Amino acid sequence: MPRKPGEPMRVPNLWTGEALKSLTAMNYRDRIVRDPHIAGAEPVLKGTRVTLRTVLASLSEGATTAEILADFPTLSEEDVRAAIAFAAASALRKIFHWPSPPLDVED
């Protein structure tokens, strides 16, 4: 449903709701592997030599899934989604362990 002018943007709650459901629905562990004989044991998409870092870097530079698939024909759309799910899960773990900034205490 389109947003009406002046209506606040609806943002999914990351801890419950659709964002968490979609994150947990994709089991990236089935698609991302480490093998000491492939890419120096860097995480790769299963069945390829394409590193997770390469896919995430492409996404961060603004590449679309279609562009990534054209550049790396051994990948599938599910592989790209697995990379995104991995990054999202990593971010959620880091949010819970984010260090608190030091407090300035005045005497």
d(CA 45, CA 86): 11
Q: Does residue 53 lie within any of the structural domains? A: yes
pTM for the model stands at 0.66
Q: Does residue 7 lie within any of the structural domains? A: no
Q: Taking residues 74-81, what's their average pLDDT?
A: 95
**What pLDDT, in 10s, does the model give residues 1-33?**
566 777 665 655 555 555 555 555 568 888 999
Q: Does residue 73 lie within any of the structural domains? A: yes
The tokens 């120096």 sit on which residue?
40
**What pLDDT, in 10s, does the model give residues 44-73?**
999 999 999 999 999 999 999 999 999 999
Domain count, the chain: 1
d(CA 95, CA 107): 31
Q: Output the six-digit token pair for 83.
A: 């990379």
Range of the domain at 71: 18-93
pLDDT at site 47: 95
Query: In this structure, what CATH number is given to the domain that contains residue 61?
Result: 1.10.10.10
Q: Does residue 25 lie within any of the structural domains? A: yes
* Residues 6 or more apart in contact with residue 58 via CB below 8 angstroms: 67, 68, 71
Q: Does residue 107 lie within any of the structural domains? A: no
φ, ψ (nearest 5 deg) of residue 31: -115, -15
pLDDT at site 107: 46
pLDDT at site 92: 72
